[in-house]
A and B are shown apart, each in its own frame.
Chain A
């Protein structure tokens, strides 16, 4: 029976315990979260569950609709209890951690020239 070389003990110094993610979804359990997907979809729902691959279970989930230029609007449609694939997730944020501000990139009319 050939002995396989033991995996090098030199794991990256930033080793985390095996099941931990750098994102602590346990903090967001049962809270309203906003999830952005890499295809552009945005969803809002109550986080009911997740796994280590960041697959998510959202309850009372709404999807934000988009307009012709694929910009997200305030229009929503109700989806209900959903599973979001972790491979497609780009952002998970608590909904009450988000605040809309005036667009800082739009110059006020008198500023130009």
Chain B
């Protein structure tokens, strides 16, 4: 398959659906992508924040934000369109 997929096109296709974001450190965010800009700042709806659990490596503490957020693109490392977030067995509620 030599047709090259453009990264920003893939993000554009994800608008309206769920997206999983891996930040530069260990933080992760899941939400519905409403839009983005040239810097890949994101507007996410019904965002859920997964913060690293300080006591357990590879485990997360989940915080449901129940709101629309602007996520600064500065620290965004990986975007997973349609992604659901870290596997539930690794997640505990705040």
Contact = CB atoms under 8 A, between A and B. Distances in A.
* Chains A and B bind each other: yes
Interface of A: 29-30, 37-39, 41, 43, 48-51, 55-57, 63, 65-68, 77, 79-88
B11 interface: yes
Interface stretch (B43-51, B63-71, B72-80): B72-80
Interface of B: 1-2, 4-8, 10-11, 22-25, 40, 57-58, 73-74, 76-83, 87
B81 A49 contact: no
Contacts of B8: 51, 55
B10 A81 contact: yes
A84 B10 contact: no
A37 B77 contact: yes
B5 A49 contact: yes
Contacts of B74: 87
A45 to B, nearest CB: 10
B3 to A, nearest CB: 9
Nearest to A80: B80
A38 B24 contact: yes
Contacts of B77: 37, 39, 41, 84-85, 88
Contact of B79 (A29, A43, A66, A83): A83
